């Protein structure tokens, strides 16, 4: 575990980091698939497709049934159906991971500024954070369509650094996947990872980071120390 000195702000991912949203993805994806007369997919299958934005999720889901041309032919209908169904159930099948509220409160108590940066569309992100009573912790919230580029591009993290008028080395990123780590490394931010998220079905231990913490509260304790 790297020693984290001089941290003044934290950027936190959403899906797989603060919230277990796999249930919402499962319901919305399979309602979309029913609209297209496709068979449902297991939650474990869909879970491995999460983390790189809605467009990538739709293409991965459609690729279970179609070749590349078929995926593109059905893409517009699929994404419209998916977004309709997701908005209808957003947060209904989602749970908060342990110690998320406590961890965010502890970081605020340390005087740290907080940002949420996710690849989830902002139209899904804001109501979900509000529904789970998390929105008030964050000074800045960016969805996957808030800026021209999304993670693993470093641009959203660098935008937060500009918003907070801090150097990247002063801004810690926390996430659950290689997307978060790649973006942080490219931005020059230190990064901690959580082991319970999605990470595209791959082992989080194999991802280049500054350490793995079990909860956001543990991360706050590290920063306090």
Q: Which residues are catalytic?
A: 13
A 10 A CB-CB count for 132 gives: 18
What the block records as the tokens of 183 is 């973006």
| 137 vs 147: CA distance, rounded Å | 21
What the block records as the tokens of 193 is 């990872």
| 64 vs 62: CA distance, rounded Å | 5
Nearest-Å Rg of the Cα atoms of the chain is 17
| 147 vs 159: CA distance, rounded Å | 9
Q: Where are the alpha helices (DSSP H) in the chain?
A: 22-35, 43-47, 54-62, 68-89, 100-109, 122-131, 155-164, 178-187, 216-224
């Amino acid at each position: 575990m790297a020693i984290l000195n001089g941290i003044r702000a934290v950027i936190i991912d959403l899906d797989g980091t603060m919230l277990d949203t796999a249930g919402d993805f499962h319901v919305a994806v399979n309602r979309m698939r029913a609209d297209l007369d496709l068979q449902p997919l297991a939650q474990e299958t869909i879970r491995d497709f999460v983390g790189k934005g809605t467009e990538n999720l739709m293409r991965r889901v459609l690729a279970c049934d179609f070749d590349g041309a078929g995926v593109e032919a059905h893409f517009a209908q699929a994404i419209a159906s998916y977004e309709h169904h997701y908005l209808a159930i957003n947060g209904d099948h989602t749970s908060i991971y342990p110690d998320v509220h406590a961890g965010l409160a502890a970081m605020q108590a340390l005087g740290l500024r907080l940002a949420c940066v996710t690849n989830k569309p902002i139209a899904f992100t804001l109501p979900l954070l509000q529904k789970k009573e998390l929105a008030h912790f964050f000074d800045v919230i960016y969805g996957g369509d808030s800026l021209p580029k999304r993670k693993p591009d470093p641009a959203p993290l660098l935008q937060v650094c500009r918003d907070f008028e801090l150097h990247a080395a002063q801004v810690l990123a926390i996430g659950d996947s290689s997307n978060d780590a790649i973006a942080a490394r490219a931005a020059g931010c230190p990064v901690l990872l959580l082991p319970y998220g999605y990470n595209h079905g791959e082992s989080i231990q194999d991802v280049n980071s500054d350490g793995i913490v079990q909860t956001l509260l543990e991360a706050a304790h590290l920063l306090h120390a």
